[in-house]
């Protein structure tokens, strides 16, 4: 289901309409898809029920690991999920990195020798 594109990104074949951007993690760059849109494509294009689309997507698309540039599938979360994720994130760091609007701001992690 995944194939290399001319831009050297791995793409999920048949889901171009669901691309929302390019993501980066360390030295890896990957295509980012909207998971909901991928499910809609499967239901419309392949005449699948919601349940069939979810099962197919999880096993054959999101579940396909093809290396460090495997595409990412973005699942939108409601406000309560995001708020909880922020709190966990801040607890893991041991400090809160927030601006006056209560948004997490960018930070750098630096190793310091004693």
Q: What does the domain layout of the chain look like in residue ranges?
A: 2-74, 77-109
pLDDT at 53: 97
> Which phi and psi angles does 29 have, rounded to 5°?
-125, 135
pTM over the 0.85 mark:
no
Local confidence pLDDT in tens for the 114 residues of the chain: 444 444 478 889 999 999 999 988 888 889 999 999 999 999 999 999 999 999 999 999 999 888 888 899 988 776 666 667 667 666 665 454 555 555 555 544 444 444
From the list 4, 21, 23, 22, the residue with the least C-alpha distance to 12 is: 4
Residues 34/48, Cβ–Cβ less than 8 Å:
no
Helix (H) or strand (E) holding 47: none
For residue 71, give Cα distances in angstroms to 25, 56, 103. 12, 16, 27
pLDDT at 109: 46
């Amino acid at each position: 289901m995944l194939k290399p594109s001319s831009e050297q990104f791995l793409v999920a074949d048949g889901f171009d309409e669901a691309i929302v951007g390019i993501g980066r993690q360390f030295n890896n760059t990957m295509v980012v898809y909207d998971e909901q849109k991928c499910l809609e494509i499967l239901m419309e294009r392949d005449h699948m029920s919601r349940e069939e689309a979810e099962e197919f997507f999880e096993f054959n698309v999101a579940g396909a690991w093809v290396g460090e540039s495997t595409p990412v599938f973005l699942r939108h979360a409601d406000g309560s999920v995001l708020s909880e994720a922020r709190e966990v994130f801040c607890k893991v760091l041991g400090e809160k990195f927030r601006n006056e609007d209560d948004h997490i701001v960018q930070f750098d992690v630096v190793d310091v020798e004693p």
